[in-house]
Amino acid sequence: MTLATLVTKALSKDSTYVFGRFHSIRIAYSAARRAAEYFQPPQWRAGRWSFPTLFPAADVPEIVKSIRKEAVFVGLNLPAYVVEEIKEFALRQPLHAIYDPNGPTFRYSDVSDGTAADGRRMPVGGVSNPERCPAVQRLIDDPVLRSIVREYFGHEPRKIIALLHWSFGSPMDDEERRHLKHIVIDYHYDVDGYNLLYASFYITDTDRYSGAHVMMKRSHNRKPLRMLIGSVRASVDAVYKYFGKENEIIIEGPAGTGFVQDTSCYHRASPPTRGDRLMLAIRFIN
């Protein structure tokens, strides 16, 4: 990403790609949104979620405090029956290739060792519109999860996107994965909006050999200028050099493990080599 490209995007409708990188701008944006919402009707500001939460033991202020400090909170875990409902839904659904979302669909059972039945190499397969699953929609609307988002942002998100993806275990090397658009295996930070909060849940047991999420704590607020004006991607060596390898965490856990993350931090996915991973991510964007 060159400076000229950044300027072009800044002058286009894609300005969040440029300005959403800067912590001070994100703070100012949230303050403006919070002020605007103050003048909304009281019943709108109070929220619309009165049904029971899936996370009754969650301490919202402590979760938000952890995200502000570390960029992540790990431990917002799903009940087993919700995990099973989402997994059964994903096993039944047609999937699309990450590199060909409008191409031929396939089923999870069609993939063996990273190759679909029609011979296509398959790093990742996605479920279209996963909110069709009642358990996914319930998560999107969960009062505790929405309270975490609102307290962290200071206002309601302007966009919510649900993603349900299978990452297939295979001996595929990193270059082939990148060629097939599985680029999240490289360290990067997200710039889809001014502020971002992703709630992610492992629907299958996940470790570093089956696609575990990897991230650099505290990298959401203190990037050097060269990382802010260049590409959102960075080498492992560059990330280690600036933030310290000791701040890297690998989030592993059984099915149901959940974490909430400010994805303006540096993060990546481990390439799955010994097992498949099914993960649900709910993106809250403003």
pLDDT on residue 1: 47
pLDDT on residue 28: 73
pLDDT on residue 48: 53
Instruction: Render pLDDT for 105-147 as a digit per residue (tens, 0 to 9).
Output: 999 999 999 999 999 999 999 999 999 999 999 999 999 999 9
pLDDT on residue 36: 73
% residues pLDDT > 90 (the chain): 79
SS3 per residue for the chain: CCHHHHHHHHCCCCCHHHHCCCHHHHHHHHHHHHHHHHCCCHHHHCCCCCCCCCCCCCCHHHHHHHHHHHCEEECCCCCHHHHHHHHHHHHHCCEEECCECCCCCECHHHCECCECCCCCECCEEEECCHHHCHHHHHHHCCHHHHHHHHHHHCCCCCEEEEEEEEECCCCCCHHHHHHCCCHHHCCECCCCCCCEEEEEEECCCECCCCCCEEEECCCCCCCCHHHHHCCCECCHHHHHHHHCHHHEEEECECCCCEEEECCCCCEEECCCCCCCEEEEEEEEEC
pLDDT on residue 19: 73
- Intervals of the chain under pLDDT 50: 1, 3-4, 6-7, 9-13, 42-47
Total count of domains within the chain: 1
The CATH number of whichever domain residue 254 belongs to comes to: 2.60.120.620
pLDDT on residue 40: 61
Domain housing 249? 3-285
